[in-house]
């Protein structure tokens, strides 16, 4: 009986520790920009979030995204964001109701963000645009000249 309780307690502690590790928030800010090209930021469009829930939204989007098979060939991103030491190119397509990103260090791999995270990120970007970060195109997360389409995979 005692042996069974001890094993159960150990299993519970390991499960709880794993859960806490998986859902931790490790960064103290997220910085995003509108993009003109892969390596060119649109001037005066920096958006910074420091609230824990906002950072959690971006961290969970990256941590729980689905990797798309194949190698991606896609246009320049409308947004980039920096989380920790990594920069991500963010594609938000209202036409296809999808949000995807590419880690700039591994630019051949595309990840699709879960709908719940995508909705929260869209809301954060829209709120940032309302207070003066860039000028959004009505009804779109893209900016003029960068209409989004479904990316091609090879």
The tens place of each residue's pLDDT in the chain, 154 residues long, gives 787 777 876 666 765 555 545 555 566 899 999 999 988 999 988 999 999 999 999 999 999 999 988 788 888 999 999 998 899 999 987 666 789 999 998 878 899 999 999 999 999 998 887 765 544 433 334 333 333 444 455 4
- Hey, CA dihedral for 128, 129, 133, 139, is it positive or negative? positive
Cα–Cα distance for residue pair 16/7, rounded to 1 Å = 14
Query: pTM value?
Result: 0.70
What's residue 5's pLDDT? 74
Q: Which two tokens stand for residue 113?
A: 């963000």
- Where do we find the tokens 């590790």? 21
Structure-derived torsion over alpha carbons of residues 114, 56, 106, 135, reported in degrees to the nearest 10: 80
Alpha-carbon gap, residue 60 to 112, rounded angstroms: 12
């Amino acid at each position: 009986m005692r042996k069974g309780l001890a094993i159960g307690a150990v299993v519970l502690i390991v499960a709880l520790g794993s859960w806490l590790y998986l859902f931790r928030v490790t960064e103290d800010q997220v910085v995003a920009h509108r993009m003109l090209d892969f390596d060119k930021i649109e001037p005066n469009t920096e958006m910074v979030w420091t609230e824990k829930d906002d950072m959690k939204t971006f961290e969970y989007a990256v941590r729980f995204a689905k990797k798309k098979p194949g190698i991606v060939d896609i246009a320049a991103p409308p947004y980039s964001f920096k989380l920790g030491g990594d920069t991500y190119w963010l594609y938000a397509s209202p036409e296809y109701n999808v949000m995807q990103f590419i880690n700039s260090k591994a630019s051949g791999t595309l990840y699709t963000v879960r709908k719940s995270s995508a909705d929260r990120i869209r809301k954060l970007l829209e709120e940032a645009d309302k207070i003066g970060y860039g000028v959004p195109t009505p009804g779109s997360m893209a900016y003029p000249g960068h209409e989004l389409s479904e990316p091609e995979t090879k």
